[in-house]
Amino acid sequence: MPALPSESAAALKHPGFWLPVATLWWRELVRFYRQRSRVVGVLGTPLLFWLLIGSGFGKSFRPPDFSGSAGITYLEYFFPGTILLVVLFTSIFSNMSLIEDRREGFLLSVLVAPISRTALAFGKILGGCTLALLQGLLILLLAPAVGLRLGFRQAAEVTAILFLISFALTALGFYFAWRVDSVQGFHGVMNLVLMPMWLLSGALFPFSGAHPWVEWVMRVNPLTYGLAALRRVLYPATPADIPSLSASIGATVVFGLLVALAGLRQARQPSTGGSV
């Protein structure tokens, strides 16, 4: 299991560490929800994908039986992938604020303040993670529309899994946002990295029937395991070719820790941008 660098571990124990973390975390939430166009974009685009793609396939594509009964519709199969897409979009939009902060001079003022860069990274990552989690839970409220009735335990497990996914994706976005100096460049990198990860996570199509090289990529894709954990909780009768719940959660935790450490190390370096 990866460990925090000694400087970061010491910063976590400093009494003045958590106040700037909480301040930056709260700033991320307020700033995001004040920009209504971003909220609409984050929620509207995945919902549109879900309705159009799910209805477009209709009965022409029969996904594997996740219900233990007569099978599920494609809209039901695509529902966990839609939640994941909302989390992914929110992570992208929340990390754009880092580039805007650099351009507006706010990031420089924070860097010269008497707080550690670890606190800056934690505040930004936790803020984006919280936003992604909240947006994902909003889409989860549509579960009854696809025949899902979640009990308290199921809802708590889904929330925990969404938190792990949100943390990993936000930390990955933070790593790239620290390295680029333009919103356009950041979008390019995210389209090259995150969107293929989502497409090959099992959100659109299952392992069975995929070309061998595509299935291999899906198996090594870390986002596959976050989605698999989500499916395992939402659909207890998930087919055997989907990774187990324990393996999926373990892979997601390791992935989140690795990208968070990469983000923390990147934040300790000069923020010059343009290196990607």
Residue in the block written with tokens 């690795």:
258
The pLDDT score that the predictor gives to residue 15 is 52
Residues 267, 121: Cα–Cα separation, whole Å: 7
What is the predicted pLDDT for the residue at 212?
A: 85
DSSP state of 181: S
What is the separation, in whole angstroms, between the first and last Cα of the chain? 28
- pTM score: 0.83
Q: What percent of the chain has pLDDT over 70?
A: 81
Distances 261 to 4, 28, 88 between C-alpha atoms, Å = 7, 21, 19
Q: What is the pLDDT of residue 112?
A: 67
Q: What is the pLDDT of residue 129?
A: 92
User: Which of 125, 153, 147 has the alpha carbon at shortest distance from 263?
Assistant: 125
- pLDDT of res. 258: 95
Q: What is the mean pLDDT of the chain?
A: 80
Residue whose structure tokens are 């950041």: 186
In the predicted model, residues of the chain with pLDDT beneath 50 are 1, 68-69, 272-276
- Where are the domains positioned within the chain? 6-267
Q: What local confidence, expressed as pLDDT, does residue 228 receive?
A: 92
Please give the Cα distance from 125 to 90 (Å, whole number).
Answer: 12
- Reported as a single tens digit per residue, the pLDDT across 14-56 is 556 778 888 888 888 887 777 777 677 667 777 777 777 767 6
